[in-house]
Amino acid sequence: MDKLGYEVEKLLHHLEPVGLDGHHLEGTFALSNYTFYLVIALFLTLLFFVFAARKASLVPKGFGNLAETGVEFVRNSIVSDVMGPEGLKYLPFMVTVFFFVLFNNLLGLVPGGLPGTGTVGTTFTWGLFVFLTYNFIGFQKNGIAYLKSFIPSGTPWWLQPLILLLEVVSHLLRPFTLGVRLYANMYAGHIILGVFVIFIKIVFDQITAGGLVVASLSFVMLILMYAFELFVAFIQAYVFTILTAVYISGALHAADH
């Protein structure tokens, strides 16, 4: 049992952000190993669309087709469904968010790689960015009337302070939940994969009949969980984008209700 604890400790230590030179992080803006994968994901997103757009044609082939499927998915099942026709103005932003988050998540599944979304600082910053964006859009579209949306019309006067407080708190919680949801899913997924690997490793250090059963079960579970993590990488990118769309849509239609 002690061995398991030791190995889990080692795994958690491995997932901690360290400086690029392998030492502990110093200072607030130090570059970590997670930052490295973040930059890779940034270039992947750029290159993906640059390559796809290079040979643009009416009937896309190969790579261009893949990119177009992705863009169409974001347009049809996220932007059009949630924001309606006026949301198409924000399609470039939504596509960028979707693919950047997706590439970050997928990098974590490359053996030896880490997800750029695996630290809470990164994802919380994105949540904060989305928060600023949708509030900016709300003020831009509705002017000062945007503030009225915090109190729905028809609320009795004695309920208004309470509703206002609840609305403000729920708005302030949005960047936290956006960030923590993405981070928690990526981090927890990696720990689960790591724990199954640890089970297999412990058995091979000291082979017993019962241990071999555990190891083979863990191996099957490892493959299944890996496939599931691939699914989670897509789902979390989708959820992050769709919540961004919901928030922007709420800010756009703030004056309606």
Partner 1 sequence: MEGSLNVLAAAIAFGVGAISPALAVGNVAGKAIEGMARQPEMAGKIQTTMFIGMALAEAIALLGFVLAFVLQAA
Q: Residue written as tokens 């960030």?
A: 179
Binding flags for partner 1, 162-191, as an x/- string (CB under 8 A): -----------x--xx--xx--x-------
The count of chain residues that interact with partner 1, using the rule CB under 8 A, is 15
Any contact of residue 159 with partner 1 (CB under 8 A)? no
Q: Is 242 in the site for partner 1 (CB under 8 A)?
A: yes
Rg of the chain over Cα atoms, rounded to whole angstroms, equals 22
Nearer Cβ to partner 1, position 140 or 177?
177
Cβ distance to partner 1 smaller for residue 160 or 177: 177
- Residue number, 93 or 238, with CB nearest to partner 1: 238
- Rounded to 10°, the helix 120-142/160-205 angle is 150
Distances (CA, A) of 165 to 98, 168, 212, 253: 32, 5, 57, 21
The 11-50 contact track toward partner 1, x by CB under 8 A, reads: ----------------------------------------
CB nearer to partner 1: pick between 150 and 176: 176
Q: Which of 239, 245, 255 is nearest to 133 (CA)?
A: 245
**At its nearest, how many Å lie between partner 1 and the CB of residue 177?**
4
Contact present, 151 and 164 (Cβ < 8 Å): yes
Question: Within positions 70 to 99, which residues make up the interface with partner 1, using CB under 8 A?
Answer: 77-78, 81-82
Q: Whats the size of the chain, residue-wise?
A: 257
**Phi-psi sector, 143: left (phi>0), alpha (psi -120 to 50), beta:** left
Q: Which two tokens stand for residue 81?
A: 């469904």
Nearer to partner 1, 91 or 243 (CB): 243
Residue 42 or 128 with smaller CB distance to partner 1: 128
- Considering the complex, what minimum distance in angstroms separates the CB of residue 14 from partner 1? 18
Q: Does 234 bind partner 1 (CB under 8 A)?
A: no
Q: Which stretch binds partner 1 (CB under 8 A): 44-52, 57-65, 140-148, 236-244?
A: 236-244
In contact, 198 and 132? CB cutoff 8 Å? no
Q: How many CB atoms lie within 10 A of CB 250?
A: 17
Interior/surface letters 157-173, b for 16+ CB within 10 angstroms, e for the rest: eeeeeeeeeeeeeeeee
How many Cα atoms occupy the beta-carbon half-sphere of 213 within 13 Å? 2
Contact flags string 95-134 toward partner 1, x per CB under 8 A: ----------------------------------------
Task: Find the part of the chain contacting partner 1 (CB under 8 A) among 55-63, 84-92, 103-111, 234-242.
Answer: 234-242
The residues, any chain, with a CB within 8 Å of residue 236's CB and separated by 6 or more, are 101, 105, 117, 181, 182, 185, 186
CB of 78 to partner 1, least distance (A): 8
Residues that bind partner 1 (CB under 8 A): 77-78, 81-82, 173, 176-177, 180-181, 184, 238-239, 242-243, 246
